Amino acid sequence: VGDHGPLEAELAKVGKAPANVRVVASEGAIAMDAEPVAALRRNPRASIPVCVDLVKTGEAKAMVSAGHTGGCVAGAMFGLNRLPGVRRPGIGATLPSLSTSGHCVLIDVGANVNCKPVNLFQYAVMGMAVSQLCLGVTRPRVGLLSIGEEDAKGNSLVKETFRLFRQESAFDFKGNVEGRDLFGGGVDVVVCEGFVGNAVLKVAEGVSETLFRTIREEVKAMGAGGGSPSAALGGALQRLRARCDYAETGGAPLLGMDGHVQICHGRSDARAILNAVTGAIRMVDVGVNARITEVLAAHAKAG
Amino acid sequence: VGDHGPLEAELAKVGKAPANVRVVASEGAIAMDAEPVAALRRNPRASIPVCVDLVKTGEAKAMVSAGHTGGCVAGAMFGLNRLPGVRRPGIGATLPSLSTSGHCVLIDVGANVNCKPVNLFQYAVMGMAVSQLCLGVTRPRVGLLSIGEEDAKGNSLVKETFRLFRQESAFDFKGNVEGRDLFGGGVDVVVCEGFVGNAVLKVAEGVSETLFRTIREEVKAMGAGGGSPSAALGGALQRLRARCDYAETGGAPLLGMDGHVQICHGRSDARAILNAVTGAIRMVDVGVNARITEVLAAHAKAG
């Protein structure tokens, strides 16, 4: 989905478009610095709303976008229904961790910066569905992101949510966790409000990128000095870097909407987009949305 | 400052206490899982309030604590005056970065989880004082932590603060920054609300610890297989690790109070405490508090 001219020109560069690729024309894009709601109102023919429409009408089972995150969220909120029982959608990012599955789901990383405890409860349900169905974790352990492991710490949202989660039999609540616990392997799902989640995600990327850059320079400097760091070490570092690379998971699903939206990093390369498309197909195939609906319905009935 | 018995027993292990060490007896401590305000009311003879009293009366120029962070903040708020013009204190952490000074000051990392734009403005002033006087940055570049670099992104606190900062001539405002920009070197001071700042700080620690652990294992595994990673590489990694280690900076100052409080990590070792003591002395010597007072007074006059 995009402006017809530029897209056809890109496709022409690689010869004919593959048989399973169809170009749907849209007009312009939601600019990265635009206020998304106003921009969507101004241009309902932009690529994001046109893409959402394809999902709404069932022509597409999922959409993948590396455009304006807020634009994707607002576009989905305007164009699609929420899943039954869902108050607000959340974006769930899959991060590398030392857990058995090798991953931890952090939700929300930026769909919603104005949360209530019930939103965080629903994020836990969504994160668990991803952990179970996409990462194979039988009984995901859920943590609540706070600024200390003790019950009494945190802001008022976290304190209220802690009390709510403690009463929940719907999931295995491990209590408050701190940022470092995201990677330690003690939890499979970490729940937080979208501003904090997004800040945390970007910091994690920043630290790992900076460290890898510095290590690479150290290794290079040693090589130049006649040291012995081998190609093998370079390979090991590269494998490790790949595990930490956002491009490997390729995007994060917007969860809670009736239709699948996969949101990618603005600077995604071809590999990231490929992985995001594969990830979106998987989300649809394993039935994450059906699971979320089912758990929320059972919870509403029990409660 | 601490329980007389255990402290004397520890000192006895190393022979006589050095001449410049005096033991001040207190009774018990603020438990790590306690609600700090209630705990301080219950036990005004605990180590934190007794320590604060020494600063208040001028017997000590600074206090250093690896105890309950909220307890230190609340103890200081009860026992000390705020600097003239300061609304709320903030904790300023010095993080490694690729900037010229090699560091970036992140403020607040947990003193205050309920912020207004004016608090964030004052944090900028405090962070700048540290950047100038302790890190030698002539004109610190200030960023506002948000979830996108564009003006329109963020929660309502960040959007309001952005508008306030843009009008400020008191500092070199670089606009919104994302988590990854903390380390990239483009800013010297990053301002945020305490819940986000604390979460971000802990995530940064978690990522670097997990990466270093994984790299160490990779290097070890290669060594066992007859590979060539040298002791030199081990040394390089160790130096890099030291730069990222919280123990190197040894603690973060609680800024904005009339008296110096240096807050350390709960799991500080001897080296971290030594660095925190050195850091606290430096904060007093360079006159960070006088600078904060001066800038706020000039600002109030101009405004």
* pLDDT tens digits, one per residue of B208-264: 888 887 777 777 776 654 444 556 666 666 766 776 666 677 789 999 999 999 999
Given the structure tokens 């330690």, which residue do they identify?
A184
Predicted local confidence at residue A301, as pLDDT: 86
Predicted local confidence at residue B211, as pLDDT: 80
Given the structure tokens 């409660």, which residue do they identify?
A303
Q: CA-CA distance, B300 to B103, in Å (whole number)?
A: 29
Predicted local confidence at residue A169, as pLDDT: 82
Locate the chain A residue with the closest alpha carbon to B36: A152
Nearest-Cα distance to chain B for A34, in Å, is 7
Half-sphere exposure of B276 (CA within 13 A, CB side): 27
Question: Can you read off the two tokens belonging to residue A279?
Answer: 């990830």
**Do A199 and B147 lie within an 8 Å CB cutoff?**
yes
- Using alpha carbons only, what angle is made at residue A199 by residues A112 and B75, rounded to the nearest 5 degrees? 105
Starting at the earlier edge strand, list the strands of the sheet with A252-255: A62-65, A260-263, A252-255, A90-96, A103-107, A189-191, A141-145, A172-177
Interface residue B242 vs chain A (CB under 8 A):
no
Residues of chain A with Cβ-Cβ distance to B200 below 8 Å are: 179, 199-200, 203
Nearest to B236 by CA among A99, A248, A218: A218
Are B113 and A154 in contact by the 8 Å Cβ rule? The answer is yes
Q: What residues contact A9, with CB distance under 8 A and at least 6 apart?
A: none
**Do A233 and B211 lie within an 8 Å CB cutoff?**
no
Cis omega (within 30 of 0) for bond into A172: no
ipTM score: 0.86
For A123, other C-beta atoms within 10 Å of its C-beta total 33
Question: Can you read off the two tokens belonging to residue B293?
Answer: 């007072």
Predicted local confidence at residue B236, as pLDDT: 66
Nearest to B108 by CA among B244, B258, B247, B254: B254
Sign for the pseudo-dihedral over CA of B287, B289, B290, B291: positive
Nearest to B76 by CA among B294, B292, B256: B256
Are A78 and A72 in contact by the 8 Å Cβ rule? The answer is no
**Do B205 and A180 lie within an 8 Å CB cutoff?**
yes
- Using alpha carbons only, what angle is made at residue A104 by residues A103 and A108, rounded to the nearest 5 degrees? 140
Interface residue A254 vs chain B (CB under 8 A):
no
Q: How confident is the model at residue B19 (pLDDT cuts 50, 70, 90)?
A: confident
Locate the chain A residue with the closest alpha carbon to B215: A237
Q: What residues contact B64, with CB distance under 8 A and at least 6 apart?
A: B251, B262, B264, B273, B276, B277, B280
**Do B215 and A214 lie within an 8 Å CB cutoff?**
no
Q: CA-CA distance, B128 to A74, in Å (whole number)?
A: 37
Among the partner residues A113, A229, A232, nearest to B155 by beta-carbon distance: A113
Nearest to A174 by CA among A160, A190, A159: A190
List A residues 178-197 in contact with B (Cβ-Cβ < 8 A).
Answer: 178-184, 192, 194-196
Are A135 and A101 in contact by the 8 Å Cβ rule? The answer is yes
Given the structure tokens 């995150």, which residue do they identify?
A69
Predicted local confidence at residue A215, as pLDDT: 76
Interface probe for B, chosen from A147, A212, A240 (most Cβ of B below 10 Å), is A147
Nearest to A254 by CA among A96, A97, A52, A59: A52
Are B42 and B27 in contact by the 8 Å Cβ rule? The answer is no
List B residues 110-169 in contact with A (Cβ-Cβ < 8 A).
Answer: 110, 113-114, 145-148, 150-156, 158
- Using alpha carbons only, what angle is made at residue B68 by residues B62 and B69, rounded to the nearest 5 degrees? 65
Cis omega (within 30 of 0) for bond into B108: yes
Among the partner residues B70, B200, B227, nearest to A230 by beta-carbon distance: B227
Q: CA-CA distance, A47 to A76, in Å (whole number)?
A: 12
Q: How confident is the model at residue B199 (pLDDT cuts 50, 70, 90)?
A: very high
Beta strands (DSSP E) in A124-171 are 141-145
Predicted local confidence at residue B21, as pLDDT: 87
**Do B32 and A181 lie within an 8 Å CB cutoff?**
no
| Residue B214 CA from chain centroid, whole number | 27
DSSP H or E segment with residue B177? strand B172-177
Residues of chain B with Cβ-Cβ distance to A156 below 8 Å are: 114
Interface residue A223 vs chain B (CB under 8 A):
no
**Do A237 and B218 lie within an 8 Å CB cutoff?**
yes
Predicted local confidence at residue B228, as pLDDT: 47
Residues of chain B with Cβ-Cβ distance to A148 below 8 Å are: 69-70
Given the structure tokens 């910091």, which residue do they identify?
A203
Residues of chain A with Cβ-Cβ distance to B156 below 8 Å are: 114
Interface residue B233 vs chain A (CB under 8 A):
yes
Residues in chain B, overall count: 303
Q: CA-CA distance, B107 to B88, in Å (whole number)?
A: 12
The β-bridge partners of A173 are A142
Predicted local confidence at residue A154, as pLDDT: 84
Nearest to A81 by CA among A295, A294, A300, A293: A293
Predicted local confidence at residue A227, as pLDDT: 45
pLDDT at B38 over 90: yes
For B252, other C-beta atoms within 10 Å of its C-beta total 30
With a cut of 70, list the residues of chain A below it in pLDDT: 222-237, 239-240, 243-247, 303
Interface residue A23 vs chain B (CB under 8 A):
no
Please provide residue A142's backbone torsions phi and psi, each rounded to the nearest 5 degrees: -110, 130
**Do A147 and B182 lie within an 8 Å CB cutoff?**
no
Q: Is B269 helix (H, G, I), strand (E, B) or coil?
A: coil
Nearest to A132 by CA among A192, A189, A194: A189
Between these two residues, B54 and A184, which has the higher pLDDT value?
Answer: B54
Q: What residues contact A213, with CB distance under 8 A and at least 6 apart?
A: none
- Using alpha carbons only, what angle is made at residue B252 by residues A160 and A194, rounded to the nearest 5 degrees? 35
**Do A199 and B199 lie within an 8 Å CB cutoff?**
yes
The β-bridge partners of A107 are A92, A191
Interface probe for A, chosen from B195, B214, B243 (most Cβ of A below 10 Å), is B195
Nearest-Cα distance to chain A for B290, in Å, is 30
Predicted local confidence at residue B230, as pLDDT: 53
Predicted local confidence at residue A222, as pLDDT: 66
Interface residue B63 vs chain A (CB under 8 A):
no
**Do B33 and A150 lie within an 8 Å CB cutoff?**
yes
- Using alpha carbons only, what angle is made at residue A73 by residues A188 and A174, rounded to the nearest 5 degrees? 20
**Do A152 and B69 lie within an 8 Å CB cutoff?**
no
Among the partner residues B70, B145, B206, nearest to A183 by beta-carbon distance: B206
Among the partner residues B153, B195, B210, nearest to A196 by beta-carbon distance: B195
Backbone Cα Rg of chain B:
21
Q: Is B91 helix (H, G, I), strand (E, B) or coil?
A: strand
Farthest-apart Cα atoms in chain A, separation: 69
Are A235 and A208 in contact by the 8 Å Cβ rule? The answer is no
How far are the Cα atoms of A49, A64, A95, A277 from residue A251, in angstroms, in the given order? Answer: 19, 8, 11, 9
Q: CA-CA distance, A159 to A166, in Å (whole number)?
A: 11
How far are the Cα atoms of B155, B182, B187 from residue A199, in angstroms, in the given order? Answer: 12, 11, 16
Q: CA-CA distance, B94 to B248, in Å (whole number)?
A: 10
